[in-house]
Amino acid sequence: MARGDAWALAKQQFDDDRAVIERLDCIRAEDGRDARPWLLSKKRAKMCESAFGFFRGSLGFFERSLRQVRPIVADLSSEGWLVGDAHAENFGALRADREPPWKRGEAAFWINDFDAVREGPLVDDVLRLATSALLAGASRGEHPLQNLRWIEAVLEGYLTDEEVETPKPVRALLTKVEARKYDDFLRARTALRTDAKYEAHEFIRGERYLSLTKDEAKKTELLARDVATLYPAIAEREHGFYRVDDVAFRVAGNGSLGHFRAAVAVAPIDPEEPPWLFDMKESAVKPKALLAAREALAAIDAHPAMVKADGRTLMLRPLAPQEDKLSMAKIESSQFEPLFRYLGSVLGRAHGTSRAAWKRADRAAIEEATVALYGAHQSGHLAYTALTRTERG
């Protein structure tokens, strides 16, 4: 990359983040004030805390950097549906059944984020995953030879047709989520409203949830009232009558932080059942394309409902305690090699028959491109941090 390119791309990402959040004129802090300055500050902090944090939250930066290293992997032309954002923390535990979320379901491990799906060169997903390995381990003090082994592990897993042993971090994650109770999950996110004629759950405002303006809350509630038609698992319940207990803006994610995202609590009117919590997330992908991509990439969770409102496409899905993602900060570097071999195998299975059989020269090109992307994000992270410091004065 030419001198100054990383700074220019970081500046574009920096400006894009501000512009996205400035469009959110529908959120309020606990004291009723505009919450956008707080949300932008939170986004900046997440982006600055590490090169991996910057990488997770700057898919646009990655895609623009990818164009500059494209000549290195230009001959790897196999194409198909891409995850688009296949970094390590977009893999995790998911519920594969359609049972109510308070019933303890069996968790499975797969890709858990399809917000950036697109069609294109399959190598782009591999580069995203391999670069995430280097950046997640950037501060671990490993010998460079070990860092390069993480790239090789991704490729070994991706290209193999044999079953790859489930690594310790994945087993631990599945064990953790399968032991979670719905009551604990609910208490961490909601509180009972004491002035209601009935027992209603409200989202706890603060770091995780913000209030929507009255107009936005009303629009979101109207959408949520149709949840029985939007999400079949509710329609299949015998009673079938629900009320909306609460709606709020959900502060979650890194790359998606700043885009519209609502939390919805929907409770049955008569039976003694707890509420369902839903995530209603803005998507830049057209519904037909999203559903086609999810099918092609073997998404294991129940298909989300898609709705359109006020020019937004929203994806509605239930939240459950048997879901979680990998947290790379909690994983020992000694586990990186088996973990990324396994993640590579998951990605290879998702790509399926479209996957190419890369030769030694192809693998060398992927390694070269990954190292270039790693350097670009290290530089971009420092530039973004410098821009944030200047903004704060």
Short-list 325, 220, 215, 311, CA closest to 264: 220
Percentage of residues in the chain with pLDDT exceeding 70? 98
Helix residue ranges per DSSP H, the chain: 5-22, 36-48, 51-57, 59-69, 123-136, 144-159, 168-178, 182-187, 214-225, 227-230, 232-235, 287-296, 336-351, 360-392
| Listed range (19-28, 296-305, 340-349) with the worst mean pLDDT | 296-305
**pLDDT number for residue 240:** 65
Whether residue 304 is predicted with pLDDT greater than 90 in this model: the reply is no
HEC secondary structure over 222-234: HHHHCHHHHCHHH
Mean pLDDT of all residues in 358-375: 96
pLDDT in tens, 97-119: 878 888 888 899 999 999 999 99
Rounded Cα distance between 282 and 186, Å, is: 23
pTM of the complete model = 0.94
Whether residue 212 is predicted with pLDDT greater than 50 in this model: the reply is yes
Rounded Cα distance between 380 and 254, Å, is: 16
Element (H, E) at 115: none
Whether residue 244 is predicted with pLDDT greater than 70 in this model: the reply is yes
Whether residue 125 is predicted with pLDDT greater than 70 in this model: the reply is yes
Q: Which residues pair with 118 in a beta bridge?
A: 82
**pLDDT number for residue 95:** 87
| 198: number of Cβ within 10 Å | 9
**pLDDT number for residue 105:** 80
Cα separations in angstroms, 149 against 276, 326, 341, 384? 44, 20, 10, 29
Given a contact cutoff of 8 angstroms between Cβ atoms, the answer to whether 366 and 130 are in contact is yes
DSSP 138: T
| 375: number of Cβ within 10 Å | 14
